[in-house]
Every structure is written in structure tokens, then in C-alpha cells.
């Protein structure tokens, strides 16, 4: 879905950051919120991750119109207890809350070997990979998960219980690009379902069910029914784990509950978020460089047979953006500018 | 694969424990090793989990014949550092090492909210669900993973890099049966591949590749080639995470390395093992009972639409075993007895 074509323009990272900041503040967000969100959406656009790039400014505007999100909410950092750092986002967007919680999470992880950052009562806004990369950039491994809205049926069922419930993992590598994966536990991403719906193209077989519980490739029917999990009962089990760990464990909403809270307003989900971090220097000890080199040998064994590592396409786009600027679809640029009217 | 038929006998849990203990000690294992292993294989047989039940006594015997495993190895418990408890199994089987590490893991988890148990240099012997249930029995959530031998190709590749790399997760529920899943990140379990090979039946489509890198349903050809991961690139990403977290992070072998160590002897893999535990009372706080009740509501939403929770079949078998005794195939019983000759 790269749009580096004549219907796109090139914009510098600084200019896109400025534009995003201006629009987000115009929408009523406090400067801290606007800056944190802008950094995330610029990173997404830079990596040609269209579904989590500048497009998300439009999603933010839609969520703001529901009136549910507190645009001035100050994230409340609670004193770290044991390995657990907790930030109450107080019904604001998540990126600023994450930035507030990150330093104590990193400190705890270095001290204890592992740590958890719990974010409560946030409108989770972003892909998970930028969060993971904030931790790999500190030399830590990270495992991140979050629920969403109950659009996804359990294996063997027909009605939505789970969110798309993404899981992301990161591992620090020498050089600029960590090992990172970030995927939905649903068989198709919600954004891809929306793209099919808008384009009027059928879904792949096996990813959705209509409201009558029958398999369907009609994106509108599946939007009324439910998506399936990826990988059958195994994906369904992982989606359950995300509900439990990033929902009930941290005393926050599951996907059914956050959907009920939204009450059909069409906003983003409001719920919790769980970030786990691991310090390889504490786990592997002083031999960590040797063990990290063994991980590199495994990556070489994967790539040496022609397979790809996740995120490679993002990193290639990032390198291209650094050379020539960030590609932004003109239509999206116009829609973002229209928010200033 | 339940064998409650005329070709099976019924045996009490105590008698099966005694038999397993006797055979394992006869094979040369120290009493502590034999007892810990016997407890695990009896639990598997009790749950009608044939691939990880009494059958594993035969696998133990095979591994012992390779001469690689130290039958008298004393697990070396190291002082807990931060959230990390470490046991060096010293090239013994894993179950006793796990039992040694569990009390400090539980104590750390209660104190800090989360903890890690690292087991190094073990011959990992068992399904992961008994380990998970040891933690849910203490009211904790658990996430467990382990590499194995490099039988599984990355998505887009054709050569083995990953083990079957199981992931197991447990969540404490009111009543005797926790929420537990335990699955291989390979598209088919190694034990099922072996069953197809012995029975001469073809594999399902899409689970394996022959030594020339072509898709194959011939179990013998796939045993010479590679299995695939479940769920395409997502399963492949999870398998990679298991290698990194339960291999390099903890300073222990990846699946390619443990396979090289085995050098074709056909024994079990020798590597590390990672157990993560989470205390809901520390994460959710004093409202934990209310949040646990919300998890129960989610389980009810899953079951209310006719879908199943993982492990339900095991729990049904467990209840039946408690009533009538444990079902054991006569042929397997004979093979186990033959080890006493």
C-alpha cells in the first residue's frame, strides 16, 4: 500500500511533525498530547505504514467528535510498586501517557531484570511497534499487548468477544533496526477490513462471518458480523490472553466492555495497555554480547534461506524517507488540512 | 486419541506413580529426578494427554541411552537477583529443576508483581501445561515458553531453524480448573508427525516441506525436510520470539544449536526454559475479585456461543480418571514394564 506515486507529495519529517501538531492542537488537544501523538503518526507515515500513519489524525478527529476523550487529561504517574509502573491516562489518548511511564519502566527493568508498564483508562491510538522500538532503543526486549473492540469471534464461535488484540515484540539488535513484530490476532486487521469495504472488494476466504454466523467474504456483512482469529484455536487462545493480561489483570476493560462504553459512537476503544520489558544484560549476564551474536546467527539462518524478518519493509521505507522525505498521499494531505477549517 | 477401550487397562494414580517411579529409578535416575518426572507423566496420562503421558517414560529411556543426560544432576539454585530466579539443571531433566525454582519464583512474583524463572542446561521433558498449572494453583498467571530442535522452517523458508517452540499461558479461575492453553508454534506437533509416520497416513495439507523444499504430505519426507509454523508469518514471528526469549535472552541454546549438540543421537533437546509469572493481586490491586469475575464473564461469552475453552477435554478426562482410575493402553503398559528387564 505504498503510495509513492504522482498522487503523493513528499514532505520532510519536521514539516509533517509541524502539520500534525498544528492540526491536533486545533482539534483541542493540549500541546503535550499533540506532540506525543504527532511523533507517533509521523513515525508511521515515515515507515509507509499507511494504516497507522498520518491517516490516524483523521481517526483522532473522529474520536474527539464523540466527546468521550479528555483532550486536556494529564497522565497520572503512580509510584512504582515492585516491578509495576502504572500511569492513569485519565481518559486521554495513550501516547503521552506512554512517554510519561517509559523512564520509570526502563529504570525498573534495569534494576530488576524485568518490568511492567500498565496504562489505564486510555484511548489507545497507535500501532504497537513504535512503543516496542522505544524499548529496543534502550537495549531492552519488549512484549506489548492491548485489547480493542469486540469485533472478533472465538474459534468455534460466531459472535465478537475479542478485539483485534495486537501483540508486538521487540529484540535489540546491533545497528539501527531491531527485530520487531506487531500483528493483530484477528485474521485480518480492522483497517484492512475497512479498506475492502470502501473499495467494494471481497475479503479473502476464511477471515469473517456474517451476522447470521455464516462464513462471508462481504466486508460490509463481516463488519456487521465478526472477524475470525488468525491460526484457528491458537490465535483465539492468544486473543484471550490479550484480553486477560491487558484487560482484567490490570483492572481495565476487555474488548466487549470498551465496545459497550463506546455505545456505537464509532470512536476508538478506551481501555488499558500492557508493556513488558526485559533487560538482556540482567538475564544473560556479562556474556550478553556473545548471546546477542547468537541471535544474529539465527536471523542470518532465516534470511539466508530467502525468508524475511518482520518489519523489513518498514525499515526500507524509513531509509527511503530519510533520503527523499516522507511520502504522503495528496488526498490524505487535503483531508488533514480540511480539519483546520 | 483417548484409548478408553478394551485395549486399555485402568490404573490408580498412586499405582501409576509407583510404576513410573520404579521404572525411572531402574533407568538410573536419582529418586528426586524420578519422582518429579513421574508426577508430570502421571498428570499427563490422567488428563488423557497421550503424547505427554506415560509414553514419555519411553522417551526418557531413549534419551538416557544417548548418554547425554546426567541422571544424578543436582539442580543448582542461584540466589534470586531482582525479579529473576535461576536454576542450572546441570544437564539433568527439567522437572526437578522446575520444582526447585518454583518457591522462589512464587515469592518474587508476590513481592514484585512479576517474576521470571530461568532454567538453564536442562533436558526439557514435559508438556508446559503442568508447569502453568503449578502457578495458577498459587493464584498467579503464567506465560511459559521453550525451544526444542530445529525442525521448523520460518515462513517463506524451507529449512529448519525453530523448534516446535511451544507457548503456554495460564490464568487462575475460581474452582479447580484454570484457563490454560499450551500449543506448539509449529503447524503440527512433533508427536503427531511421528504418529502419522508410524501409521503411514498422510499429513494435512500445508504443514510440511520435503528436503527439496517442496510442500509435502508424506510424514517421512517432512521428517527429512521441515515442518511449517502455524498461522503463516505470525506463527513464524512467535517461534522466533521463543528462540530469543527462552534461548538467547537467558544465555542458553537455540533450537539449531541444541540439535547440533544432539548430533543425530535422537535424544531430547538440551537447552533453557523460561517461566514468567504475574500476580493479579499486585497488578489489579484490591479489586482483583471483581476483575476476576469480569474474566469469568468473558469465558461465559465464549462458551455461551458454543465455542470451547482450551484444556476442556483434558479436564473432562481428569474428572473421569478421578472416578474410575487412569486409562493406560495395554501395549504402552507392556513397553514400560519391559524397561524393567
Residue in chain B nearest A229 by alpha carbon: B231
- Classify A229 as helix, strand or coil: strand
Question: Which of chain B's residues have a Cβ under 8 Å away from the Cβ of A158?
Answer: 305
Give the model's pLDDT for residue B5: 55
Q: Given the DSSP bridges, would you call strands B84-93 and B226-227 parallel, antiparallel or unpaired?
A: unpaired
Please report the domains of chain B, with CATH numbers, ordered by start residue. 8-187+228-286+310-338 (3.30.1370.60)
Give the pLDDT band of residue B14 (cuts 50, 70, 90): very high
For A195-233, write each residue's pLDDT tens digit.
899 889 999 999 999 999 999 999 999 999 999 999 999
For A71-88, write each residue's pLDDT tens digit.
999 999 999 999 999 999
The chain-wide mean pLDDT, for chain A, equals: 94
pLDDT over 80 (residue A38) = yes
Q: Is A51 a catalytic residue?
A: yes
Contact flag B244-A81 (C-beta cutoff 8 Å):
no
Residue that has been written with the C-alpha cell 514435559 in this structure = B126
Question: Which of chain B's residues have a Cβ under 8 Å away from the Cβ of A114?
Answer: 82-84, 114-116, 276
Instruction: Over range B64-86, report the average pLDDT.
Output: 95
Handedness of CA A319, A324, A326, A329 (dihedral sign): negative
Q: Is A149 a catalytic residue?
A: no
Residue in chain B nearest A272 by alpha carbon: B284
| 8 Å CB contact between A254 and B294 | yes
CA distance B120 to chain A (A): 11
Residue B276 pairs with which residues in a beta bridge? B116, B143
- Classify A62 as helix, strand or coil: helix
Give the model's pLDDT for residue A3: 43
Residue that has been written with the C-alpha cell 539454585 in this structure = B77
Contact flag A244-B302 (C-beta cutoff 8 Å):
no
CA distance B69 to chain A (A): 23
Q: Is B52 a catalytic residue?
A: yes
Contact flag B118-A292 (C-beta cutoff 8 Å):
no
| 8 Å CB contact between A202 and A210 | no
Percent of chain B with pLDDT over 90: 86
How many CB pairs below 8 Å do chains A and B form together? Answer: 214
Give the model's pLDDT for residue A2: 47
For B201-233, write each residue's pLDDT tens digit.
999 999 999 999 999 999 999 999 999 999 999
pLDDT over 50 (residue B280) = yes
Alpha carbons B249 and B319: distance in angstroms, whole number = 39
C-alpha cell at position B332: 504402552
| 8 Å CB contact between B276 and B169 | no
| 8 Å CB contact between B51 and B82 | no
For A248-271, write each residue's pLDDT tens digit.
999 999 999 888 877 777 666 789
- Classify B252 as helix, strand or coil: coil
CA distance B109 to chain A (A): 9
Amino acid at each position: 500500500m505504498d503510495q509513492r506515486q504522482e498522487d503523493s507529495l513528499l514532505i520532510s519529517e519536521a514539516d509533517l511533525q509541524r502539520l500534525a501538531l498544528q492540526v491536533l492542537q486545533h482539534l483541542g488537544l493540549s500541546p503535550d498530547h499533540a506532540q506525543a501523538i504527532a511523533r507517533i503518526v509521523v513515525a508511521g507515515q515515515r515507515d509507509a505504514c499507511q494504516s497507522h500513519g498520518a491517516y490516524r489524525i483523521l481517526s483522532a478527529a473522529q474520536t474527539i467528535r464523540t466527546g468521550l476523550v479528555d483532550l486536556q487529561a494529564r497522565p497520572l504517574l503512580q509510584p512504582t510498586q515492585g516491578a509495576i509502573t502504572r500511569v492513569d491516562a485519565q481518559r486521554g489518548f495513550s501516547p503521552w501517557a506512554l512517554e510519561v511511564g517509559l523512564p520509570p519502566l526502563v529504570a525498573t527493568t534495569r534494576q530488576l531484570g524485568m518490568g511492567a508498564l500498565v496504562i489505564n483508562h486510555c484511548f489507545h491510538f497507535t500501532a504497537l511497534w513504535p512503543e516496542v522500538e522505544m524499548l529496543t532503543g534502550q537495549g531492552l526486549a519488549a512484549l506489548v499487548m492491548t485489547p480493542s473492540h469486540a469485533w472478533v469471534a472465538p474459534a468455534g464461535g460466531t459472535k465478537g468477544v475479542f478485539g483485534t488484540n495486537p501483540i508486538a515484540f521487540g529484540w535489540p539488535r546491533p545497528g539501527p533496526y531491531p527485530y520487531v513484530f506487531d500483528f493483530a490476532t484477528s485474521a485480518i486487521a480492522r483497517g484492512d477490513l475497512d479498506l475492502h469495504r470502501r473499495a467494494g472488494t471481497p475479503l479473502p476466504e476464511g477471515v469473517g462471518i456474517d451476522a447470521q454466523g455464516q462464513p462471508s467474504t462481504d466486508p460490509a456483512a463481516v463488519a456487521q458480523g465478526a472477524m475470525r482469529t488468525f491460526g484457528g484455536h491458537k490465535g483465539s487462545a492468544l486473543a484471550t490472553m490479550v484480553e486477560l493480561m491487558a484487560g482484567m489483570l490490570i483492572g481495565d476493560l476487555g474488548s466487549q466492555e470498551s465496545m459497550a462504553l463506546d455505545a456505537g459512537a464509532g470512536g476508538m476503544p478506551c481501555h488499558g495497555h500492557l508493556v513488558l520489558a526485559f533487560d538482556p544484560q540482567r538475564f544473560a549476564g556479562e556474556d550478553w554480547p556473545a548471546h546477542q551474536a547468537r541471535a544474529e546467527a539465527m536471523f542470518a539462518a532465516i534470511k539466508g534461506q530467502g525468508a524475511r524478518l518482520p518489519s523489513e519493509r518498514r525499515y526500507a521505507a524509513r531509509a527511503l524517507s530519510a533520503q527523499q522525505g516522507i511520502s504522503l498521499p495528496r488526498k490524505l494531505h487535503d483531508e488533514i488540512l480540511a480539519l483546520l477549517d
